[in-house]
Amino acid sequence: MIYKKIITYGTFDMFHIGHLNLIKKIKEIGSEVIIGVSTDEFNEEKGKKCIIPYEQRAEIVRCISGVDLVIAESDWDQKVSDIRKYSVDCFVMGSDWDGKFDYLQDLCEVVYLPRTDGISTTEIKELLKGFSPTFKKDFNNMFNILDTLRQDLM
C-alpha cells in the first residue's frame, strides 16, 4: 500500500546505514515523508546525550533524497498534533518501538518497520568509548590532514 503522507521521528545522531535504510523503506510506502528530529533539549529529557547538535542532525536528514519535510520534535505529546496538522495517514517507527505507539491508530495507520541488523547509534557510541585518547587524537589529526589536502586540491 502507498500512503499519501508518512511521519516518523528519531534522534538521528551519528547518522548511519540503519537510519538511511529506515528512510528508504518509508519512501517506498509513502508519497510524502515527514521526519521529526528530536531536539537536543528533548533528548536530554529522554536521558539521551547527542554527539551531533540538533541543527546539524536536522540538516543531514533534510538533505536525504526522499525526505520532504523535517520538523523539530520537542516532546512526546506532539505526535498527535503533528498527525492532525500535516494530515498524516501513516505513522512509522522502527520495530524496536513495537506496540508503543498503537494509541495513534485512531488517527492513522501505525507501522513498525524492521531495524537494520548489526547497527545502532547506541552500539556505535559504546564502541567509541573503547578507543584510547591517543587513537581519538590520531583519528582527528588524520581528518584534519585529509581536509587540508582536499582544500589544496580545490
Q: Which of 42-51, 120-129, 131-140, 145-154 has the highest mean pLDDT?
A: 42-51
| CA atoms within 13 Å, Cβ hemisphere of 12 | 30
Choice among 25, 27, 48, 125 that is catalytic: 48
| CA atoms within 13 Å, Cβ hemisphere of 133 | 0
- Residue 79 annotated to the active site: no
pLDDT at residue 128 is higher than 90: no
Task: Compute the C-alpha angle 127/132/136, nearest 5°.
Answer: 85
Q: pTM (2 decimals)?
A: 0.77
Choice among 24, 46, 85, 136 that is catalytic: 46
Distance, in Å, from the CA atom of 71 to the CA atom of 68, rounded to the nearest integer, reads: 10
pLDDT (tens digit per residue) in 7-47: 999 999 878 788 888 999 999 999 999 999 999 999 999 98
- Residue 46 annotated to the active site: yes
Rg (CA), the chain: 18
Domain boundaries, the chain: 3-119, 120-154
Q: 111, 124, 99, 100: which is closest to 22 by C-alpha?
A: 111
CATH of domain 3-119: 3.40.50.620
